[in-house]
Chain A
Amino acid sequence: MEEELISKKELLELTGISYGQLYRWKRKKLIPEDWFIRKSTFTGQETFFRKQQILDRINKIKDLKDDFSLDELAHLFLSSNESSGVPSLNPKIALQKEELIKRNIVSEMTLNFYLEQMGDMTVFPFQAILCVYLLETLLKTGELSLDEGKMMLQTFAEHYEKFEGKPSELIVIRKMGVSSIMLVSSPGEIHFDNGVKIVVRLDVAGCIEELKLKLK
């Protein structure tokens, strides 16, 4: 799959940041070294980036830089820089179920629903936190019905471990009112027949990053 590249100059124009900022972020390891792709062009050597990847990162930095110091951000991105773009599940984080509500990660309704389905638990390891967080996101946007939520929980509980450390996406499709949930490794292309409507495509790695921010 050929990814779209963007030159450094175009990137700065598009995002409105200056050379200085870009270099500062690079120095602070907010943008990893190997994202800078050097290519020779007729004007000499130029630097390119993968468009989607760099734009996502820069928007994220711009959003967060008022609330977090650059070093904190670097720390946040570090886990995703090193491996192939997936923040690892942090096994050290575990929360009491009351904490989940207090920290505004899930609503009480979602939590109760989760506990109904998965059995009562008082301490949530990170994977469970991620799972309820995903559920909350999907239910809140109204994209998923409760029944589908049930399916999602099962899929997630059974299969997510296989994706640990690999980039993955959660996809929900519907055809003729029948829905199915899938976890696929990304980047990958999937094609469906015409009758299929893709309801949700969630990048799990992105969710982990958001979640980590909330847990700080």
Chain B
Amino acid sequence: MQSDIRYDLTITGNGSSFGGVFKNVKIVGDAKIDSDLDCLVFKSTGTTEITGNMKSTSCHIIGEMYLKGNLETGEAKITGTMDIEGNVKTKKMKSNGEIRIRGGLAGEDVNLEGLFTIKGNCEAENLHMKGVFTIDGLLNAGSVELKTHSECRIKEIGGEKIDIRRGTGSVWKRLLGTFYLPSDFFEGVLHVDTIEGDDIYVEHTMAKVIRGTNVMIGPGCSIGHVEYTNRFQKTDDSNIGNHTQV
């Protein structure tokens, strides 16, 4: 594929492609792409399976997507399920749904809502996450905002501004939730080994160590050790092993 001209690829219904370099890729239905895909705009509604790497400037997925390789995209919008074996690199990412990444995630603005598992590290300038998540590596972001539901697990968090709260829902959502959400959905708890940052606020968090400049501990926490350099505050109903100013 040595031509400079990019053509469009459209798959409607059931189809497959060998992959390659395209301008716009539009998939409606069920598609299988057998190698790497390089395109400008990727739009998929339905189920897409790609056995290679994918590169695009924008990527919009409604439905299901399975990717064997790495994903590199400028903008990503995902509604549905995404399963990636490799790493994800993106500028802006927005997702409602379920994401599983076997590698790491690196982005600038990352906005995730729903269910995720990330095996590697997660890096972003601004990160908002809401839902149920597991990150096996290091979460490193300029500003981290987490809203936890059910049981969330992160190995390590590091950043400048870290804000961890329990996710809430409207009364209506809560009422509806009793039918199809797990019973502990609105009792979000975060399990984490260490949190290190400049300004830290946590609630409903179980951590071994928290280190930071300004540390504020909200309700429902159980923390082994807190180290702070400037300011430390805690509410009465949190459990803290010991705290030291360094």
Contacts and interface: CB of A to CB of B under 8 A. Distances in A.
Nearest to B157: A23
Interface of A: 8-9, 13, 18-24, 26-27, 43-45
A185 B160 CA distance: 39
B83 to A, nearest CB: 25
A18 B209 contact: no
Given A19-B197, A19-B212, A13 B246 contact: yes
Contacts of B225: 43
A9 B211 contact: yes
B161 to A, nearest CB: 8
B145 interface: no
Listed from nearest, the 6 A-B pairs whose CB atoms lie closest are A20-B160, A20-B198, A23-B158, A19-B196, A23-B140, A18-B198
Contacts of A21: 160
A23 B208 contact: no
Contacts of B136: none
Contacts of B211: 9, 19
Contacts of B158: 19, 22-23, 26
What size tier do the contact residues of chain B reach?
20 to 34
B188 interface: no
B212 to A, nearest CB: 6
Given A23-B196, A24-B142, A44 B209 contact: yes
Interface of B: 123, 125, 140-142, 158-161, 193-194, 196-198, 208-209, 211-213, 225, 227, 246
A26 B140 contact: yes
B140 A43 contact: no
B188 to A, nearest CB: 24
A18 B140 contact: no
A43 B226 CA distance: 13
Contacts of A13: 246
Contacts of A23: 140, 158-160, 196-197
A69 to B, nearest CB: 14
21 contacts: A8-B196, A9-B211, A9-B227, A9-B246, A18-B160, A18-B198, A19-B158, A19-B159, A19-B196, A19-B197, A19-B212, A19-B213, A20-B197, A20-B198, A22-B158, A23-B158, A23-B196, A24-B142, A26-B140, A26-B158, A27-B142
A43 B209 contact: yes
Given A13-B246, A19-B212, 16 more contacts: A8-B196, A19-B159, A19-B196, A19-B197, A19-B198, A20-B159, A20-B160, A20-B197, A22-B158, A23-B158, A23-B159, A26-B158, A27-B140, A27-B142, A44-B193, A45-B194
A27 B107 CA distance: 10
Contacts of A19: 158-159, 196-198, 211-213
A27 B123 contact: yes
B136 to A, nearest CB: 14
